[in-house]
Structure 1
Amino acid sequence: MKNVLMGSFRFVYLSLLLWAPAALSAPAQRVLLDMASAPVTVPQPVERVVTVGAVPVLNSLIFAVGEGRSIANGLPAFAKHSRWGYQTVFAPQIAKLPSLQNPDNTPDLEALLQTAPDAVLTMDRAGAERMRRAGLPALYLAWTRPEQVKAAVRLLGQLYARPDAADRYVERFDHILATVAARLQRSKPVRPRVLYFNPATLTQPHLVVEWWIRAAGGESVTDDGRSIEARSFTMEQLLAWDPDFLIVVSREDAEMLVREPRFAGLSAVRNRHLLVAPCAAHTWANRTAEQPLTVLWAASQFHPSLFDDIDLAAETARFYRDIFGVELSPEQIGEILAGGPAANSVRHK
């Protein structure tokens, strides 16, 4: 009996010796729920993340938790325009990395599998499911409302085990919006009628615009309760709306409004209330982690007398320093507020 017990002990002991190194070397893993509540298993820590699809938007979320250095892909062809030059200021390594998506901006599964990222971020729900079926840890992120922007950043705080960074972003987000809301509530100014659009196609491209225009004290002329992402309209409708302010994404678009006779009858054109949205990680007027800055900027344009004591350049510099972890020069801040890099300029750091 004694021999049997000793033999059993030796077997268990040897088994533990064999198992222990493997157990100790196995990477820790966690399960996260993405914004469609899909469970995704990721390693711990997360060090290499790939963004596919709306790459500048997704990168902005990574910048918001101070993890730009983890991005393991370059910019797709559409984002190599000078407009997105600050992407390579916030994450210099991406200037030399290849894009990991196809020309139609769908994921390049073969290239992704070879890269073996710790996580893949996408705003395409069906694409996330396809990538997971291929064995990639893909998380779906999307938003149309401010609470969802904060939720997306909190998810990345979980992904990187940086809840402190996510909390810092949410606190700054809420502080900026509360500051603007308090001043508007106290003064109750007349809300100007505002249109953010592409003058070449006569489209308003993003649903989130309806939120930030209202939060900034404006009245969006396209805010008709729609739930679709983009809204098209006719020239006749534009003339009937006759907005007080027109907002576009580029200096070229602003020049088009002044140059083309079809826009000459608009009040905003006659009064030169033509605004070019600032641009850094992404165009502030579109979906971006820079959304609180969008509200502060727009409010200062719509109601300058209510915000003339706020140094917009200083607030912008502080946001990028405290949230993105990047110190920008006064010249860079001025360029961002003027609409971003001019055509063919380079902003690599």
Structure 2
Amino acid sequence: MGRLLSGLLLVSLSASAFADPGDEGQTIQASPLKSRQVQDDGGQQVKVPAAPARIADGWYAHHVLLMTLGAGSRIVATVNHPESQPWMFKILPALNQATAIEGTGFNAETLLAGHVELVFTALGDRQAIAYRQLGLPVMQMGYTDLAGLKRSMLNTAEALGGAEPRTRALAYNGFLDQQLASVNDAVAGIPAEQRPKELHIASVNPLKVDGADTLINDWIKLAGGRNAATGLKGNLQIVSAEQLLAWQPDVLILAANAGRLDQAAQAQLLNQLEAVRNGRVLRNPAGVFPWDRYGTEVALQVPWAAQQLHPALFTDVDMAAQTVDFYRRFFDYPLTPEDAQRILHGEPPATAP
């Protein structure tokens, strides 16, 4: 499928480009005209079709929420790609039939031509204005903690309509609560000063880390750690190797696609970190979406991180088995134990999606 140009260029594209992936190229019927009022994550009221069947999703992480709710096959326009999210396209092969764009700006006229009924964007995405001007319903989504994720699950389920998405949202939220409670029971008695200082590195070149007011900061604390990036707020903040030496984290967790420390511009300085000297450099798991960033697999991230930070407290936790079970329950996919190990090591599928 050819990729659409991002932005608002008036590109001509037939509706067949948005054919239902599960119907062998035949377009699916538009939803009934009946509509409902729902709320997006920004608190805005949005009028949506009763059961939107053709969705354009402009936020990379939100695809995983749709998949968890059993609605991944409704995505007919996407900002994700097999090269960057290979597990997503392997677990949901129908996504290979969706029209993909570079960046996050769908062509609004093209969405109309493709009979898209609902658009999801990230909070603050200015493209939402253009979509709304053409009469497309837009849900703007985003959160910075796990409580926000749970709200987003319910808001997304309401937008999708029907009983199944809401049932699955409640099931996921309940599972997440169980995971958090189990980890909290194990780490609650650890004094604050004994909790390891963990630094999450999103990229080594340029060197980017994640600070406070982020979901990453949330799961670090829940896993029984302290975010070493004191005084820093927000995601993907560029820092120097000297700053890391000042923070002196006990543990480094590298995002699956962050690169290797020896690829950093100041690799020699990073080698002076106690975490590096002590062999406490970890690679974060990545599956349908990176576990550490804004997807539903954060329910696996918290116990994984807790086990890495406090191995003696989680000797009975089998993360491979948990991963297989999670994929069966929430992605309706029979993950093999071998695939689970690849995900846990931040590796792509053995075969291309």
Kept after mapping to 1: 8 A contact 2:199/2:229: yes
Separation in 1 of the partners of 2:273 and 2:87?
33
Offset at 1:74?
Answer: 4.2
Kept after mapping to 1: 8 A contact 2:200/2:253: yes
Offset at 1:104?
Answer: 4.0
Q: Within the alignment, does 1:184 sit opposite 2:190 as a pair?
A: no
Identity of aligned residues (%): 27
Pick one of 44, 66, 71 that aligns with 2:75: 71
Look up the SS of the partner of 1:46 in the other structure. Answer: coil
Kept after mapping to 2: 8 A contact 1:243/1:266: yes
- 1:191-340 correspondence runs (5 A): 191-197=195-201, 198-205=203-210, 207-224=214-231, 226=233, 228-250=234-256, 253-254=259-260, 256=262, 260-340=267-347
Offset at 1:192?
Answer: 0.8
Distance 1:72 1:273, change over 3 A: same
Deviates more, 1:329-338 or 1:217-226: 217-226
Q: Within the alignment, does 1:164 sit opposite 2:171 as a pair?
A: no
Deviations 1:137-173 (A, max 9, x none): 1100000011110111111221222211110010001
Separation in 2 of the partners of 1:251 and 1:164?
33
Residue in structure 2 matched with residue 31 of structure 1 by the alignment? 37
TM-score, normalized by length of structure 2? Answer: 0.82
Structure 2 residue runs of 5 or longer lacking an equivalent are: 1-30
Separation in 2 of the partners of 1:44 and 1:108?
24
Over 6 Å off, 4+ runs: none
Distance 1:250 1:35, change over 3 A: closer
Offset at 1:108?
Answer: 1.8
Instruction: Select the structure with the greater relative contact order (CA < 8 A; seq sep ≥ 6).
Output: 1
Kept after mapping to 2: 8 A contact 1:251/1:276: no
Residue in structure 2 matched with residue 89 of structure 1 by the alignment? 90
Offset at 1:39?
Answer: 2.2
Residue in structure 2 matched with residue 9 of structure 1 by the alignment? none
Separation in 2 of the partners of 1:27 and 1:334?
46
Separation in 2 of the partners of 1:150 and 1:210?
17
Look up the SS of the partner of 1:253 in the other structure. Answer: coil
- Residue type of the partner of 1:254? R
Kept after mapping to 2: 8 A contact 1:36/1:140: yes
Aligned-residue Cα RMSD (Å) equals 2.3
Structure 1 residue runs of 5 or longer lacking an equivalent are: 1-24
Deviations 1:265-300 (A, max 9, x none): 111111221111111121111121211211111001
Deviations 1:228-247 (A, max 9, x none): 44423222111111211111
Offset at 1:225?
Answer: 6.7
Separation in 2 of the partners of 1:270 and 1:229?
26
Kept after mapping to 2: 8 A contact 1:31/1:40: yes
Offset at 1:26?
Answer: 5.5
Look up the SS of the partner of 1:86 in the other structure. Answer: helix
Look up the SS of the partner of 2:99 in the other structure. Answer: coil
Distance 1:89 1:80, change over 3 A: closer
Larger radius of gyration: 1
Kept after mapping to 2: 8 A contact 1:215/1:295: yes
Deviates more, 1:147-156 or 1:116-125: 116-125
Q: How many residues are paired up?
A: 314
